[in-house]
Chain A
């Protein structure tokens, strides 16, 4: 069952002579329970693709569907994102004035979950990424890899059905990176759809399908689903 569908998507930043054609007609479907990895050189459009798939940005042309909904017709994209989409940003985007636990609780509280319950949920996902002991620290008191895990916990909280992760293993050593992929994979096997951007082949290999972007287009893909992947 398809959960996310991008059809003929283009994205042009700016206008006229300085226009950047970040995506030039990309079609991609992501099934429930599927992990798709996106690889490609710097500037090839990976983050742009992820932003469009999660409704953080709108395409110049083409359509994006999440579930049954055409995002072009959704007024409150922020609400849809909070309910359905977990996002790990390339630059992490943790709020420096909040502790790790508060950062993780935030999307739930914005969604109207009471703070006691939000804290419980936050502690559960922090434990899942092996960071329960960091709950009360502020981002600047954490190492790069620790911050990375908190950002991942924030994306996992609240059982969101679509996870978008932009280089979630960036600052991690390979053993910890594998651990993060194991967690994303488990979410997938539990029914989430995961779109992962990575420049590291070892992490892309956890995916059911790997898509290679070049200059805003899909250059090749390991399309035939692996019979032995599950």
Chain B
């Protein structure tokens, strides 16, 4: 989770102060990644410590605009140029629940699958509604798309579980 790099990316198109960064960060991630202003300032001061951004003079309202440095641009290019490692997934409760239900030979596995499939489909419907309503540009829609693909993968996996279990029974 790189708030650091997100802020650097925003600053690479021009100087901004903390509040602006927060608003733009949320807009481009479709508000799926809410930031509080405290996180923004903590991150900015670390970026400043590492020489990646520079604060300007404060304006009449006491706001300080930050500017990306050459080192900051280099760090940003390195980030964009490096693929994200498919890290170990956090343990998924659904996967564990189903594995346990199957291993324990519970009679209600099919019921667990049905319930989950309906719930996941509802979530997918909500995401699709959000996508249809998304008007803040492609970045926002693509973030929602990512969640749609994930929910869809879960749905397909549930269908697969059902088919495999039906075969085995």
Q: Which residue of A lies closest to B153 (CB)?
A: A201
**Is the pair B128, A206 in contact by a Cβ cutoff of 8 Å?**
yes
| Residues in A whose Cβ lies below 8 Å from that of B149 | 202
Looking at chain A, what size class is its interface with the partner chain? 10 to 19
How many interface residues does B have (CB within 8 Å)?
A: 21
- Distance from B81 Cβ to chain A, minimum over Cβ atoms (Å): 26
Which label, helix, strand, loop or mixed, suits the secondary structure of the B interface?
helix
Cα distance A200–B151 when bound, in Å?
11
Contact of A210 with B by CB under 8 A: yes
Cα distance A182–B134 when bound, in Å?
13
Contact of A19 with B by CB under 8 A: no
Select the stretch in B41-49, B66-74, B113-121 that faces chain A.
B113-121
**Is the pair B121, A226 in contact by a Cβ cutoff of 8 Å?**
no
CB within 8 Å for A205 and B125 given contacts A41-B163, A185-B132, A200-B152: yes
Cα distance A206–B121 when bound, in Å?
10
**Is the pair B114, A228 in contact by a Cβ cutoff of 8 Å?**
no
**Is the pair A220, B117 in contact by a Cβ cutoff of 8 Å?**
yes
Q: Which residue of B lies closest to A185 (CB)?
A: B132
**Is the pair B132, A226 in contact by a Cβ cutoff of 8 Å?**
no
| Residues in A whose Cβ lies below 8 Å from that of B121 | 201, 204-205, 210, 222
Given contacts A206-B128, A228-B129, 10 further A-B contacts (CB under 8 A): A41-B163, A201-B120, A201-B124, A202-B149, A202-B152, A204-B121, A206-B125, A220-B114, A226-B125, A226-B126
Identify the A interface with B (CB < 8 A). Answer: 41, 182, 185, 200-202, 204-207, 210, 212, 219-222, 226, 228-229
